[in-house]
Amino acid sequence: MNFDIYDEQKLARQLQIQKKKAWDIETDINWSQGIDLSKSFLPLNNVNTLFKNATPEQLRVISQLMGLIVASTISQLENVAYRLKVPVWENFLRKHPVNPELLELGEQFFEEEKKHSRAFNKYIDLFASEVNIDPVDLKRFLPKAHNTAIEKIYTLNSKVGGMAMWWLISAVEEESILFYHLLNEVKENVDPLYYNLHRCHFEEEVRHKSYAHMMLEVYNEFVNTPSSYVFKKVDFILAEVLNMTWTFSQLLKVKELKKYKNHHEFFNTLSSCMDLLEGKSQLDILSALFHSTPYISHTIHLSEHGHIRELLKRYNTSKLPLPNSRIGEILCTV
Ligand SMILES: [Fe+2]
Ligand SMILES: [Fe+2]
């Protein structure tokens, strides 16, 4: 792992680079280009296990829906991280001060996450206006974390001294980097605004992802209370279980979008896609998503990421005994 919490010069240099290269949500993203609804958002692979005989239009709409789910997941989870800034970071580093550089880097880290959350949220708002629906209505059916059990449990965990949130942040960052790589392979077929948003996100994630690793390192070195031994063992499992139950419950909500089929062709086609799922149980759908859609299986299965596995080994942390998912051939729908 490429970090050293005591190398003050390196930390200061990293902050300088992050500040210098930071993008601006209004001026560096061309929102005025709008969303090209004739393009896909996210690639789908092995999708025919779920949607047999789907037309190219249906596959494109499914890809757009998956893209919205991902945008909402990033926006929501990064916003939860920002809202927990005081217990998971400020109070913690005040109690275990390392150096001012690590503190300043943290300020920058949280500002970047807040901005990312706003940027993905703005994309969803724009999409809602393109498909003739109130953004509030659309967001009701997309992943939401604010005021839900997931946010409450992370808040509780951080208040009693756990670090589950930093495990989640690490995994979401790995996930965001994976999304960009997947999109980059098929970028000619992807909505340009969706692609650029992920590209901007990817750039800052790569620059700041070591921060979550450093916070886990501080925890490991400085916190040695009896309860911390338990947290060190189970925090990752807590993050995995919470993430899995949250993702499953959030994915099942999208079926309700059917009722907007008279609003726009997007919803009409989406409604016809839902008909293709007729006769399949929720378990069939979730199992197919888990095994055949890399970004969903990785979202659910946090320890699939290489860097997460390294961290688990480094801190001798337990994980759930889950089967490996497969990253198969990636197909784009248009
Ligand atoms: Fe981010
Ligand atoms: Fe991040």
Alpha helices in the chain (DSSP H): 8-21, 56-83, 85, 91-95, 100-130, 135-140, 149-159, 164-185, 192-208, 210-222, 226-253, 265-276, 282-292, 294-300, 306-314
pLDDT at 333 over 70: no
Percent of the chain past pLDDT 90, that is, above it, reads 46
pLDDT at 174 over 80: yes
Q: What is the mean pLDDT of the chain?
A: 85
pLDDT at 51 over 80: no
pLDDT at 296 over 70: no
- Reported as a pLDDT band with limits 50, 70 and 90, residue 329 is very low
How many domains, the chain?
Answer: 1
Distance 204 CA to ligand 1 centre (A): 7
* Amino acid at position 115, single letter: K
Query: Which has the closest alpha carbon to 36: 105, 127, 99?
Result: 127
Distance 23 CA to ligand 1 centre (A): 12
pTM for this prediction? 0.89
Is 155 domain-assigned? yes
Greatest distance between any 2 Cα atoms in the chain: 60
Distance 315 CA to ligand 2 centre (A): 21
Is 111 domain-assigned? yes
Distance (Å, whole) CA 212 – CA 226: 23
Distance 320 CA to ligand 1 centre (A): 25
pLDDT at 50 over 80: no
Please tell me the number of Cα atoms within 13 Å of 186 on its side-chain side: 21
Which tokens is 104 given?
A: 């300043």
- Reported as a pLDDT band with limits 50, 70 and 90, residue 322 is low
**Which SS3 state, helix, strand or coil, does residue 243 take?**
helix
Nearest bound ligand to CA 210? Answer: 2
Q: Please state the φ and ψ torsions of residue 327, each to the nearest 5 degrees.
A: -100, 105
Is 24 domain-assigned? no
pLDDT attached to residue 214 = 95
**Which SS3 state, helix, strand or coil, does residue 44 take?**
strand
Distance 113 CA to ligand 1 centre (A): 5
Say which residue, 114 or 296, is predicted with more confidence: 114
Nearest bound ligand to CA 116? Answer: 1
Is 4 domain-assigned? no
Distance 287 CA to ligand 1 centre (A): 28
Distance 71 CA to ligand 2 centre (A): 14
- Reported as a pLDDT band with limits 50, 70 and 90, residue 330 is very low
- Reported as a pLDDT band with limits 50, 70 and 90, residue 62 is confident
Distance 206 CA to ligand 1 centre (A): 10
DSSP H or E stretch at residue 53: none
pLDDT attached to residue 319 = 73
pLDDT at 297 over 70: no
Distance 77 CA to ligand 2 centre (A): 10
Is 72 domain-assigned? yes
Is 322 domain-assigned? no
Say which residue, 98 or 175, is predicted with more confidence: 98
Distance 115 CA to ligand 2 centre (A): 10
Query: For the residues 9-17, what does the mean pLDDT come to?
Result: 97
Is 122 domain-assigned? yes
For residue 251, the enclosing domain spans 52-314
Lowest mean pLDDT among 28-42, 129-143, 227-241, 252-266: 227-241
Is 283 domain-assigned? yes
Distance (Å, whole) CA 173 – CA 178: 9
Query: Which has the closest alpha carbon to 1: 222, 312, 228?
Result: 312
Nearest bound ligand to CA 108? Answer: 2
pLDDT at 194 over 90: yes
Instruction: Say which residues have a Cβ less than 8 Å from residue 142's Cβ, sequence separation at least 6.
Output: 68, 69, 72, 124, 250, 253, 254
Distance 70 CA to ligand 2 centre (A): 15
* Amino acid at position 131, single letter: V
Query: Which has the closest alpha carbon to 169: 209, 223, 120?
Result: 209
- Reported as a pLDDT band with limits 50, 70 and 90, residue 48 is low
Distance 198 CA to ligand 2 centre (A): 12
Which tokens is 119 given?
A: 């940027």
Q: For the chain, how far is it from start to end, CA to CA, in angstroms?
A: 39
Nearest bound ligand to CA 119? Answer: 1
For the ranges 14-23, 151-160, 210-219, 321-330, the maximum mean pLDDT occurs at: 14-23
Distance 209 CA to ligand 2 centre (A): 6
- Reported as a pLDDT band with limits 50, 70 and 90, residue 257 is confident
Lowest mean pLDDT among 42-56, 213-227, 279-293: 279-293
